[in-house]
Chain A
Amino acid sequence: MPDILSCYKWVADEAYIRSGSSGALDLNMADYKISDYDKNAIEEAMLLTEKYGGNTAVITVGLPDDTKGVKDALSRGPEKAYFVNDPAFADLEPEQTATLLAAAIASPIPYDIIICGEGSSDLYAQQVGPRLAEKLGIPCLCYVQKVELDGSQLVAERKTDAGIEVVAVELPVLLTVVPDINMPRLPGLRDTLAAGKKPVTEFTADDLPQGQAALLQTTNSKVASITRSSRMFGTDAASIGDLVQELKNSGVIA
């Protein structure tokens, strides 16, 4: 029965992004959430253990204050959490996050399957999962939309640019999953209460080997401006006729 470890990121909710002075990105009002695609990663671990048995845990890298995220993740079903946190772990880039995760996992944390979302809903770099697999030296399957287990063999369907590939691999393996693999469950009050009692193992920078220096420098971030006219038309036949005429004038319909 497999040990399944799901990775998640606690991120600013993009719905709260505001444009500060001269279009600069303002996240001061932002609420935080578990990155959307990582909810699918946690859910898939739950579905697999409900079907095949085994153990589930979550792991994350973040700031010491991100305990709300740990509780949120545990309310979605996993039995325990590994919380890699340090005041220095702000705005990490994918290589740094993957290096920290790999070091914590090597400590060791037991796993047969590691599941990541296909990307985070903030950076959406889609790098941490594949980089982590390489650092652990285990096989990696990306964009997985279906998973089955047959003893120590995992069979997956993954999305490719041409269609679908059905692939088989011996455990251990790291998967990144696409959002349509499942519908994440909504935790109830009881799940939230139970989450507070589940074990959390913490790692800080002192527990891990020296981290990786940043390779990328963000020189600018600004709110993406939309420059469309937003001209509104009424719902009566004459107004709709005007809209059609407008579309004809702009040459997009004959």
Chain B
Amino acid sequence: MAGVWILAEGLESGRELINIGQTLAREQNSTLTAITWQGDLNQELIAYGVDEILLLPALPEDEPRQAYIPIIVERARLDHPEIILFSATLLGKELAARIAGQLGAGLGSECSGLRWIKEEAALEMERLFYGGAAVQTIRCRQAPRMATVSQRSFAPAERQEGRSGNVIELPAPPPSPVRVIERKSRTQTAGDIAGARVVVCVGRGFEKEASLELARQLAQALGGEIACTRPISQEVCWLSEDVCIGLSAKKVKPDLYIGLGISGQIQHLTGIRDARVIVAVNRDANAPIFAAVDYGIAGDLYEVVPQLLAILQK
């Protein structure tokens, strides 16, 4: 089937793609196809709105997911989908770019908005660029129009009653030139900043590693997690890259973000733009971060944070 394709890596991110994918498919009077390697999710994906499943076979243990690329490309050349959507995960972004490279297709990266322009048969995509300092709107008219979709940009699709759909099994891919030697899960020493309600973030305003204790105490007092800017994880290596916030690192959406000693480079601000309330403490009153906050204190964090702690612990 042509129509709209999504690549469903899992149910959670898959439901977001189903939502926008189904909207786009309806506007084209076409159908929604999901490519997946998660055979156990077939019926779930159909129940949430997929009309047809293209099921990829299991891979040998030492093969990476990227091994599927030739099979997906081959099927796309046969079926001519109008649109192909991926979640903007690390894997989704790589698969999309490589498949687009093979198909010579236009691809919008990490889109937060998607719209079908009927009169032009164009997929309109909205995304950030220049480190998040600017917003770009692009249109792609030539099929397959491809996009990676920023996670949590669309609500997950709801379950629909009485749905059915076909499952088509795709052939096994040729052996991958890349062999997986080992898979390591992310170290669980660091907290989960992406899901935290409160994030206390430290920047270069901290003069020594020992003073991070101040930030830890504040995070603890607020039931939050500690995070950092790129220089803290990369240059002085005081905290793990897993808790680094920014365009090319983690993006967070807490209720409360408190930035301590952070000047506010645009790449960092892009990582916090969806926080509900942003507070910053920084010595330099002209620091760019103050333009991006709800509340600010221009002062020495070594003086302000202890006072803040005293009030919170009262």
On A, residues with C-beta under 8 Å from B are: 12, 14-15, 17, 25, 37, 93-95, 98, 118-119, 121-127, 129-135, 139-143, 155, 159-170, 178-180, 183, 212, 215-224, 226, 228-235, 237, 239-241, 243-244, 246-247, 250-253
Contacting pair A126 B93 (CB below 8 A): yes
The reply to whether A232 and B248 form a contact with Cβ atoms under 8 Å apart is: no
Instruction: Say yes or no: B109 contacts A126, CB within 8 Å.
Output: yes
17 additional A-B pairs beyond A143-B94, A170-B177, A226-B273, beta carbons within 8 Å, are: A95-B105, A98-B101, A121-B130, A122-B130, A141-B178, A142-B90, A165-B64, A167-B178, A167-B181, A180-B234, A217-B139, A220-B137, A226-B269, A230-B292, A235-B303, A243-B279, A250-B277
Check B214 for interface membership: any CB of A closer than 8 A: no
Closest residue of chain A to B10, judged by CB?
A: A161
Report chain A residues within 8 Å CB of B300: 235
B139 touches A235 (CB 8 A): no
State whether A14 touches B131 (Cβ < 8 A). yes
Query: In the assembled complex, which residues on chain A have CB atoms less than 8 Å from the CB atom of B180?
Result: 165-167
Verify A160–B102 contact, CB threshold 8 A: no
Contact B296 A231 (CB under 8 A): yes
Cβ A155 vs Cβ B134 within 8 A: no
Task: Please name all residues of chain B whose beta carbon is closer than 8 Å to the beta carbon of A166 when the two chains form the complex.
Answer: 180-184
Is B304 part of the binding interface, using a Cβ–Cβ cutoff of 8 Å? Answer: yes
Top-4 shortest CB links A-B: A215-B106, A131-B101, A134-B101, A235-B299
Q: With contacts A170-B177, A243-B295, A253-B222 known, is A221 near B131, CB below 8 A?
A: no
Residues of B within 8 A of A228 (CB): 278, 292-294
Interface contact B184-A123, CB-CB below 8 Å: no
Interface SS of chain B: helix, strand, loop or mixed? mixed
B266 to chain A, nearest CB (A): 6
Instruction: List residues 109-142 of chain B with CB under 8 A from any CB of chain A.
Output: 109-110, 124, 128-142
Which B residues touch A123, using CB under 8 A?
Answer: 109, 129, 136
Closest A-chain residue to B142, C-beta based? Answer: A215
Sampled A-B contacts (20; CB under 8 Å): A95-B100, A119-B248, A133-B101, A141-B178, A163-B186, A167-B179, A180-B241, A215-B104, A216-B108, A216-B139, A221-B134, A224-B128, A224-B132, A230-B290, A230-B296, A234-B299, A241-B311, A247-B256, A247-B277, A253-B312
Q: Is the CB of A165 within 8 A of B131?
A: no
* Residue B298 interfacial (CB < 8 Å): yes
Q: Which among B98, B248, B290 has the highest number of chain A CB atoms within 10 Å?
A: B248
Take A167-B64, A178-B248, A218-B137 as given contacts and tell me if A95 and B101 are in contact as well, using a CB distance cutoff of 8 Å. yes
| A231 in contact with B101 given A216-B106, A240-B304 (CB within 8 Å) | no
B248–A233 touching, CB < 8 Å: no
A119 to B97, CA, bound (A): 12
**Contacts of B185 on A, CB cut-off 8 Å?**
162-163
Chain A contacts for B251, CB-based, 8 A:
none
B residues near A (Cβ < 8 Å) are 64, 66, 89-91, 93-94, 97-98, 100-102, 104-110, 124, 128-142, 177-186, 198, 222, 230, 233-235, 241, 244, 247-248, 255-256, 266, 269, 273, 276-279, 285, 290-300, 303-304, 307-308, 310-312
Chain A residues with Cβ below 8 Å from B295 are 229, 231-233, 243, 246-247
Q: Which partner residue on chain B sits nearest A12 by CB separation?
A: B130
Q: A179 contacts which of B93, B110, B222, B230 (Cβ < 8 Å)? A: B230
- B107 touching A212 by the CB < 8 A rule? no
Cβ-closest chain B residue relative to A158: B90
Max chain A C-beta neighbours (<10 A), residue from B104, B140, B300, B303: B104
B260, chain A: closest CB distance, angstroms: 13
Among A134, A221, A240, which residue has its beta carbon within 8 angstroms of that of B311?
Answer: A240
Bound CA–CA A17/B252 (angstroms):
24
Shortest beta-carbon distance from A94 to chain B in Å: 7
CB distance from B34 to the nearest CB of A (A): 18
Q: Chain B residues with Cβ under 8 A from A221's Cβ? A: 129, 134-137
Task: Tell me whether A229 and B294 are in contact (CB under 8 A).
Answer: yes
Cβ A232 vs Cβ B184 within 8 A: no
Contact B101 A135 (CB under 8 A): yes
| A132, B100: Cα distance in complex, Å | 11
